[in-house]
Every structure is written in C-alpha cells, then in structure tokens.
Amino acid sequence: MIVESTAIPEVKVIQPRVHGDARGGVAESYSAPRFAEHGLPTQFPQDNLSYSAAAGTVRGLHFQRPPHAQGKLVTVLAGAIVDVAVDLRPDSPTWGRHVAVRLSSADWRQLYIPAGFAHGFCTLTPGTTVHYKVTDVYAPQCEDGLAWDDPQLGIAWPVDPAEAVLSDKDRRWPTLAELAPMPA
C-alpha cells in the first residue's frame, strides 16, 4: 500500500496495491500490521455503510466530540465522491482548513481522517455506496456537525447549493464561527 499525506499532513490518502488480471482485481484494503508501519490506527471497533441514491447528495460535515471522537477510514464501494475533512483541533496550525479528495470505486483509493476533524462528502454519481471504518463507536451524546456550506470554510463542493440533497439535520449545523470549541 502507498500512503501519502495531504495538505493537512495527518489526513492520509491510501492507495492499496491492486492485483489485476482478466477477471478483475483484488487488493488488501486493511491490514493492521501495514497500517501500524505507516503510523495509522489499527483498531476500528465499528464499520458504517451509507448509500446515496442521487448524485449531489451531501452528507456532513459530521464529527464526534471527546471522549468518543472518531477517526475514519473512508472507501467508496460504488460510485464516486468528493470527500472533505475540516480540521477542528484547537491547537492545530491548520485549524479551520480543509482538504478535499476525490475517491471512487474505480480507483480504490481510501482516505484516513483522524479524530478532531469534521467529515463530509458529496456524491458525484447516482447509486453511491460509501464504507467507513471508525476508531470509536457511535455515541449520540457526542454527535456534532458543522455547516457544509459555511463560506468561511471555502469548500468548493461539486454541487450547486440549491440542488444539493441533504438531511434536515445537515441543513441545521452551525457555522465554524458559531461552533462550540473542541477541548484541547
């Protein structure tokens, strides 16, 4: 596997080595020893799947506060997304900045987003399925979010805001300026 840092070094793009032949391909999408070699977490107590019927579906920006903050390993099983991570770590030199990475089932790339980041994505194709492993279990009392379209974030989403498909909850998250600070 090839692990590359993004503009925010703690957010990593992971490219599994795909072994292909006339039948298709196979890759090792997760290996605790290989993840440990690259300084990535090796314990993921929960896996999540999301299915989005329409292109232009936005999910996020979501995160969990301590003591159940979650790192996420994101993989697209069908379709394509623009995956976004926003740094909310209070003492970080990249606080409030984001990275956006295109992931698709065709390229097999994954994105690792550490705890302390808000995460969201926009589907680029209809019928998109996203799988993500998380480093802590879902804890509703720790759930929080950030406005996906906050101009302060400057995220270039690949969908017109008027046409984005969102949940009611995702339409109500606060902006970065309104967000209660994360504990240090």
- Domains annotated for the chain, with CATH where assigned, are 44-171 (2.60.120.10)
Q: Which pLDDT tens digit goes with each residue over 120-172?
A: 999 999 999 999 999 999 999 999 999 999 999 999 999 999 999 999 999 99
Q: Which pLDDT tens digit goes with each residue over 68-116?
A: 999 999 999 999 999 999 999 999 999 999 999 999 999 999 999 999 9
Amino acid identity at 119: H
Catalytic site positions: 62, 132
Please state the pTM of the whole predicted model. 0.95
Q: Rounded distance, CA 179 to CA 150, Å? A: 11
> Cis bond leading into 77, ω under 30°?
no
Tokens of 14: 């992971």
